[in-house]
A and B are shown apart, each in its own frame.
Chain A
């Protein structure tokens, strides 16, 4: 056995350093693409253990890849350079609410959905709502800066963090930010670490911002017979003085996939639907609902559906959640992107997607948080088909280029990870990327924390096929 591994085992209680092949394979993947076998999986349950592991890793120059529940869609926790997977999911889960401060302190292993559940008991809410909130850990959400449908009105994870407890790549404990709503003391390290995808530190605690839970919600579904009309209707709504909490888009392929999978009565003959959620006081909702109905009619909506009960509304939202799994039924491999464009450019982006789809003859579907310009184009393919996968690589590249041409960005909420790293320079420019890299190098001089993510390696290209 290698010396570092022996020492690692003596550092931690028995049974918390996993080295069997079965265990290593079980932490070799996430919900994205690719599989990388680590040398060991370490399950930490205390802050000091995290520090100890990182100190050891620095001494032996062993890579450490932090991981929550492994629901990442961009490859954040993949041990691309072997070494250690640092499993944070078994850390004791603590939710410490301060309703009078409208804040909550959490440990990294807490499931994001549970924070909102705890907050709701006090009439509060934790706004970020990624689809995987019932499985994903807040540690992973912070590292990846996760979003969710409510991002349209409330922003993404970074907009709700007041302070962090972090173990630095060299194994030192620091605190960033604090517990106050206003805090401008020094450079904002909190925002630097949130979304750094585990490259600048391991988050071991966080203080999050809560907000009052809106007293009521109203769901509206609108069907269109042209995709472009749907895109224009979104822009029109958002410039009319109304800010819905969610505005979700599904194209026809997604509608059909959901109906084939778990029928809920979506209009399968529509080219696209938008599902809107308004939140606020019931009086306001009544007025806003009327306004939206007017806008949609003006924009040539095919059908406007107002659910008659909470259960009916829940069904529609459930259908939206089912899109991602349902489209996986079309073909076994799903290459999911989250390129984001300025909201006004949504119709143009949709046109570009259509062109890419035709150019490569691939199965491309689109759904997502169209209200904030964060569309999820998905390519459905079969990773066992090498030729097809090579086409997919090219199509993905074209998609990123399209988003950037329209003034957008590579990732709205999933993070860069491994797959988008080769395109970083396209968006940031050489110097921009280098400034980012300099921060990384000064925080992590030995480059042991989550190497292979965010920053492209020399000559790295997007590779989805195995020859």
Chain B
């Protein structure tokens, strides 16, 4: 490693923090873990201490690993501290000092970037559900013995379409006979396109009915969010380059995704490169066109909802959609357009649900403490369903509903919109 520890830890950026503490009320882990050590201000200070040699990387490990990365702090920070960059720098330094683990290397180097593997995951999920294996293992409590509380999460997985159906229903190009109102490059996402295949199909359908043309650029790959969150910055940069290239092939008006977590990564691609470089410019052009599905649907305004759904819902925004992509009003706007749907907003929508990428798997107990706070708010609304805008949040909310023993649905915004039978306005 050529750069110094201070550089890698973004030491200079820690001076933007004036330690005013305004981030404390916004931080979910400060609330549930009750310690300054698990607050943004505490973490930034520790990064500074490590850079100055007053504490070790080992001291930094727990506080950084217990950070959700929800970025709620950045929305209230009065001095605009680049917490995301400080956080990722710290993750990277911690990762570099850790002994390598084979499974993890496989997951991040081969599994997530590979659409083949992701498709296999989708197939395996389907097989698991349809073969009765799910029932068998649940009955014998096999999943309960699996590490990392997998049983809790697998119960929350959506029902999977067959591999055949997935192949049949998916084409890479949805062209229109009439002139399209917009040409869209669809960023499909790894988990979204395997486990949440139906949601992706619904997204395409909504775009088509809005009058757009949709293309799945073949060379696209994983967004790299999970890599960046776990300190694998170099791999994250590689994936970013591949995606930038993939979406340069055609002149898209928008690069659309439907997973808050992926979108947040995509909009930050420019930060991965040095200003003034060619890749920086290319990344900027890419970022300028990245949109969440809700933004595009509101912008195109091409749908009229035919079916009245009689229900009350609340909306749990994906932190990465709200705090990083700064998309706040569009999902609410869309929900309000559905006839018969009553929206009851959360008291603290900005509070993370505890899903946070792989946080709820790696830090299960802590994630559940955070989920409990969230569920109190959800229950307080008296709504019959929770609408989300990111797959991780959706699974987490399903888990929350189950833990509370409630009869409540958790759906992706896109799926809810499709249920209301949207028709083209034109």
**Could you tell me if B37 and A26 are in contact, using CB atoms closer than 8 angstroms?**
yes
| Cβ-defined partner of A29 (8 Å) among B45, B60, B63, B80 | B45
Residue-wise, chain B 14-56 has the 8 Å CB interface mask toward A (1 for contact) of 0110111110110000000011110100100110010000111
**Could you tell me if A21 and B21 are in contact, using CB atoms closer than 8 angstroms?**
no
B78 on interface, CB distance cutoff 8 Å: yes
B308 on interface, CB distance cutoff 8 Å: no
Residues of A within 8 A of B404 (CB): none
Query: Chain B's nearest CB lies how many Å from the CB of A327?
Result: 10
**Could you tell me if B37 and A69 are in contact, using CB atoms closer than 8 angstroms?**
no
If A70-B36, A111-B25 touch, whether A22 touches B59 (CB-CB below 8 Å) is yes
Query: Chain A's nearest CB lies how many Å from the CB of B81?
Result: 10
**Could you tell me if B34 and A90 are in contact, using CB atoms closer than 8 angstroms?**
yes
A317 on interface, CB distance cutoff 8 Å: no
**Could you tell me if A25 and B54 are in contact, using CB atoms closer than 8 angstroms?**
yes
Q: Which of A230-238, A293-301, A328-336, A428-436 lies at the interface with chain B? A: A328-336
If A21-B55, A21-B59, A69-B24 touch, whether A27 touches B16 (CB-CB below 8 Å) is no
A261 on interface, CB distance cutoff 8 Å: yes
Residues of B within 8 A of A334 (CB): 18
Query: Chain B's nearest CB lies how many Å from the CB of A375?
Result: 20
**Could you tell me if B25 and A25 are in contact, using CB atoms closer than 8 angstroms?**
no
A179 on interface, CB distance cutoff 8 Å: no
**Could you tell me if A332 and B35 are in contact, using CB atoms closer than 8 angstroms?**
no
Residues of B within 8 A of A328 (CB): 16, 18, 79
Q: A320–B176 Cα gap in the complex (Å)?
A: 53
Query: Chain A's nearest CB lies how many Å from the CB of B94?
Result: 13
**Could you tell me if B15 and A18 are in contact, using CB atoms closer than 8 angstroms?**
no
**Could you tell me if A31 and B25 are in contact, using CB atoms closer than 8 angstroms?**
no
| Cβ-defined partner of A43 (8 Å) among B16, B25, B34, B45 | B34
Residue-wise, chain A 22-36 has the 8 Å CB interface mask toward B (1 for contact) of 110111111100000
Residues of B within 8 A of A43 (CB): 34-35
A116 on interface, CB distance cutoff 8 Å: no
**Could you tell me if A70 and B21 are in contact, using CB atoms closer than 8 angstroms?**
yes
Q: A346–B60 Cα gap in the complex (Å)?
A: 47
A98 on interface, CB distance cutoff 8 Å: no
A218 on interface, CB distance cutoff 8 Å: no
Interface size on A, residues (CB 8 A): 34
**Could you tell me if A31 and B37 are in contact, using CB atoms closer than 8 angstroms?**
no
B306 on interface, CB distance cutoff 8 Å: no
**Could you tell me if B35 and A135 are in contact, using CB atoms closer than 8 angstroms?**
no
If A20-B59, A22-B37 touch, whether A30 touches B24 (CB-CB below 8 Å) is no
A322 on interface, CB distance cutoff 8 Å: yes
**Could you tell me if A332 and B16 are in contact, using CB atoms closer than 8 angstroms?**
yes
For A134, give the chain B residue with the smallest CB separation. B25
B301 on interface, CB distance cutoff 8 Å: no
For B56, give the chain A residue with the smallest CB separation. A21
Query: Chain A's nearest CB lies how many Å from the CB of B131?
Result: 45
**Could you tell me if B79 and A22 are in contact, using CB atoms closer than 8 angstroms?**
no
Query: Chain A's nearest CB lies how many Å from the CB of B118?
Result: 37
For A113, give the chain B residue with the smallest CB separation. B25
**Could you tell me if A22 and B21 are in contact, using CB atoms closer than 8 angstroms?**
no
**Could you tell me if A29 and B19 are in contact, using CB atoms closer than 8 angstroms?**
yes
A132 on interface, CB distance cutoff 8 Å: yes
**Could you tell me if B80 and A261 are in contact, using CB atoms closer than 8 angstroms?**
yes
Residues of A within 8 A of B80 (CB): 261, 325, 329
Residues of B within 8 A of A134 (CB): 22, 25
Residue-wise, chain B 50-71 has the 8 Å CB interface mask toward A (1 for contact) of 0000111001101100000000
Query: Chain B's nearest CB lies how many Å from the CB of A85?
Result: 10
Q: A62–B292 Cα gap in the complex (Å)?
A: 56
**Could you tell me if A25 and B45 are in contact, using CB atoms closer than 8 angstroms?**
yes
**Could you tell me if A25 and B49 are in contact, using CB atoms closer than 8 angstroms?**
yes
**Could you tell me if B21 and A71 are in contact, using CB atoms closer than 8 angstroms?**
yes
**Could you tell me if A30 and B19 are in contact, using CB atoms closer than 8 angstroms?**
yes
Query: Chain B's nearest CB lies how many Å from the CB of A111?
Result: 7
**Could you tell me if A23 and B19 are in contact, using CB atoms closer than 8 angstroms?**
no
User: Which A residues from 134 to 158 make CB contacts under 8 A with B?
Assistant: 134-136
Query: Chain B's nearest CB lies how many Å from the CB of A464?
Result: 15
Q: A25–B55 Cα gap in the complex (Å)?
A: 9
**Could you tell me if A31 and B18 are in contact, using CB atoms closer than 8 angstroms?**
yes
**Could you tell me if B20 and A22 are in contact, using CB atoms closer than 8 angstroms?**
no
Q: A329–B21 Cα gap in the complex (Å)?
A: 17
User: Which A residues from 271 to 319 make CB contacts under 8 A with B?
Assistant: none
Residues of B within 8 A of A87 (CB): 36
**Could you tell me if B25 and A23 are in contact, using CB atoms closer than 8 angstroms?**
no
Query: Chain A's nearest CB lies how many Å from the CB of B112?
Result: 31
Q: A69–B15 Cα gap in the complex (Å)?
A: 20
A324 on interface, CB distance cutoff 8 Å: yes
Residues of B within 8 A of A27 (CB): 36
Q: A43–B62 Cα gap in the complex (Å)?
A: 19
Q: A458–B19 Cα gap in the complex (Å)?
A: 30
Residues of A within 8 A of B56 (CB): 21
**Could you tell me if B24 and A135 are in contact, using CB atoms closer than 8 angstroms?**
yes
**Could you tell me if A324 and B54 are in contact, using CB atoms closer than 8 angstroms?**
no
**Could you tell me if B35 and A18 are in contact, using CB atoms closer than 8 angstroms?**
yes
| Cβ-defined partner of B35 (8 Å) among A21, A26, A29, A71 | A26
For A383, give the chain B residue with the smallest CB separation. B15
**Could you tell me if A26 and B79 are in contact, using CB atoms closer than 8 angstroms?**
no
Query: Chain A's nearest CB lies how many Å from the CB of B61?
Result: 9
Residues of B within 8 A of A31 (CB): 18-21
Residues of B within 8 A of A333 (CB): 15
Q: A351–B46 Cα gap in the complex (Å)?
A: 41
**Could you tell me if B55 and A132 are in contact, using CB atoms closer than 8 angstroms?**
no
Query: Chain A's nearest CB lies how many Å from the CB of B224?
Result: 29
**Could you tell me if B15 and A23 are in contact, using CB atoms closer than 8 angstroms?**
no
Residue of A25, A28, A90, A322 most packed against chain B (CB within 10 A): A25
Residues of A within 8 A of B20 (CB): 31, 71, 132, 135, 324-325
Residue of A18, A23, A28, A136 most packed against chain B (CB within 10 A): A23
**Could you tell me if B78 and A324 are in contact, using CB atoms closer than 8 angstroms?**
yes
Residues of A within 8 A of B55 (CB): 21-22, 25
**Could you tell me if A135 and B25 are in contact, using CB atoms closer than 8 angstroms?**
yes
**Could you tell me if B59 and A135 are in contact, using CB atoms closer than 8 angstroms?**
no
**Could you tell me if B78 and A322 are in contact, using CB atoms closer than 8 angstroms?**
yes
User: Which B residues from 172 to 194 make CB contacts under 8 A with A?
Assistant: none
Q: A135–B26 Cα gap in the complex (Å)?
A: 10
Q: A26–B60 Cα gap in the complex (Å)?
A: 11
Residue of B15, B19, B20 most packed against chain A (CB within 10 A): B20
Residues of B within 8 A of A326 (CB): 78-79
User: Which A residues from 43 to 99 make CB contacts under 8 A with B?
Assistant: 43, 69-71, 87, 90
Residues of B within 8 A of A324 (CB): 20, 78
Query: Chain A's nearest CB lies how many Å from the CB of B223?
Result: 30
Query: Chain A's nearest CB lies how many Å from the CB of B191?
Result: 33
Q: A330–B80 Cα gap in the complex (Å)?
A: 13
**Could you tell me if A22 and B62 are in contact, using CB atoms closer than 8 angstroms?**
yes
Residues of B within 8 A of A136 (CB): 21
Residues of B within 8 A of A329 (CB): 79-80
Residues of B within 8 A of A135 (CB): 20-22, 24-25
Residues of B within 8 A of A22 (CB): 37, 46, 55, 59-60, 62-63
Q: A320–B241 Cα gap in the complex (Å)?
A: 43
Residues of A within 8 A of B34 (CB): 43, 90
| Cβ-defined partner of A132 (8 Å) among B15, B21, B39, B42 | B21
Q: Assuming A25-B59, A322-B78, what are 10 further A-B pairs, CB within 8 angstroms?
A: A21-B56, A22-B55, A25-B49, A31-B18, A69-B21, A70-B21, A135-B20, A135-B25, A325-B80, A326-B79
Q: List 5 A-B contacts (CB under 8 A).
A: A18-B35, A22-B46, A71-B21, A325-B78, A333-B15
Report B's interface with A, CB cutoff 8 A.
Answer: 15-16, 18-22, 24-25, 34-37, 39, 42, 45-46, 49, 54-56, 59-60, 62-63, 78-80
